Amino acid sequence: MRKIAVIGGGSWGTALALALSRSRAPHAISLWVHDAALGELIRTTRHNSIYLPGFALPAEINVTSHMAAALADAEIVLGVIPAAHARSIYTEMLPHLRPGAAIVSGTKGIEHDSLKRMSEVIAEICAGSTDRIAVLSGPSFAREVARGDPTAVAIASRNPNLACELQDEFAGSGFRLYTNDDVIGVEVGGAVKNVIAIAAGVCAGLGLGANSTAALLTRGLAEMTRLAVALGGRRDTLFGLAGLGDLVLTATGELSRNRTVGVELGKGRTLKDILSSMRMIAEGVGTAAATRELARRAKVEMPITEQMYATLYEERPPREAVRELMERRLKSE
C-alpha cells in the first residue's frame, strides 16, 4: 500500500484526501494542516468544520500538523496550498521528502513576485529533474468532489509514465483523470480562468444578462489561450478540462469564490471589505496582477485581465471597466 501525503488542510486539500480515500487503489493517506489547533480539531472530530463542513474523514486519513510525520515514507506528495505560500511550504517540505517521490501541484495560481507557475517553483526548490513533477487541474468544486459527484480533471506531467501512474493511483468511481503532457497549458488555464471568473461575477453583480456572460467567457477563453500559447502551451489544452471546462465552472458556479468576489465588486463593495469577510482565498485576485505582468512581458493582448487589474488594484468602477471593454477598437474575431 502506497502512502500519499496531502499538504494543505483547506477545502480543496480536504476534498482531495476524501477522493483519494475512495480511489480504486488502496492508500495510506496523511493530511497536513498548517494550523495546529485546526489539525487537532479535525483529528478529534473527524470533520473539517472550518473549511469543508459536513463531511466525515474516514479513519485511514491521518491528520497531522507535523511536516515530517506527514511526509514520512510518502511516495506521492500532493501540494494543495495557496500560491502565495507555496514557495515557503515546499521549502519546509524539502528536508522530509522521500527520494524519488512524485510531487503533484493542486494549486491554481501563479507566484506573484517571480511570475512562476507552481511546477516551476517546485522544480526550483527541489533543484532536480521535472520527471517526478505533475499538476492536477480541471473543473472541480471541493464540496462536490467531497460529496462524490462525478468529476473529471487533468493530470499533466512532462513524464508521460508519471501521468499514467498518477491517473491509476488517483482514479475512483467519482473521480476520473485524463493525462496530458502540456504542463504549461494546464497550469495557465487553471490560474487565469480565476481572473475571468471575477469578471463574470462583476457582470452578474451589475445585473447584466446572459449575453454579457457568454461574450465574456468566449473572449476570456481567447485571452487564456493566447497567453498559454505564448508561454509554450498548446491551444488544444485550453479547450479541454483545464481550460474551457474549469472556466465554465468557475465563472458560472455559485460555489466559486472568484466569481463571488466579482459579484460583490459589481454590487459596489470594496475589495478590502470583500476579502476581509472571506475565510478562504480567491486566487484570482493575486493572479490578476501576475497575469497582467506575464502578458505584458510576452506582448500578449489581454483586455479583460487589464480591466480586472484596474478594478481590483486601481479602484476603477466595474461599470467603467465594462464600458472600456465594449468601446475598444473594433476588430475581426
What element of type H or E holds 102? Answer: strand 102-105
C-alpha closest to that of 112 among 303, 286, 233, 312: 286
Catalytic residue from among 3, 108, 116, 193: 193
Distance CA 202, CA 264 (A): 7
Q: Write out the three cell numbers for 266.
A: 459589481
C-alpha dihedral (287, 101, 164, 191), degrees to nearest 10: 0
Place of cell 463574470: 200
CB-CB contact of 148 with 217 (8 Å):
no
Distance CA 255, CA 191 (A): 17
Distance CA 295, CA 286 (A): 15
Q: How far is CA 188 from the centre of its chain?
A: 10
Q: C-alpha distances in angstroms, 263 versus 69, 199, 246, 272?
A: 41, 8, 18, 14
Instruction: Report the chain's terminal Cα–Cα distance, integer Å.
Output: 52
Strand-by-strand arrangement of the 27-32 sheet: 61-64, 27-32, 2-7, 76-79, 102-105, 133-137, 151-156, 175-180
Reply yes or no on whether 331 is catalytic: no
Looking from the CA of 311 toward its CB, the CA atoms found within 13 Å total 34
DSSP of 145-211? HHHT--EEEEEE-SSHHHHHHHHHHH-BTTEEEEEES-HHHHHHHHHHHHHHHHHHHHHHHTT--HH
Catalytic residues: 193
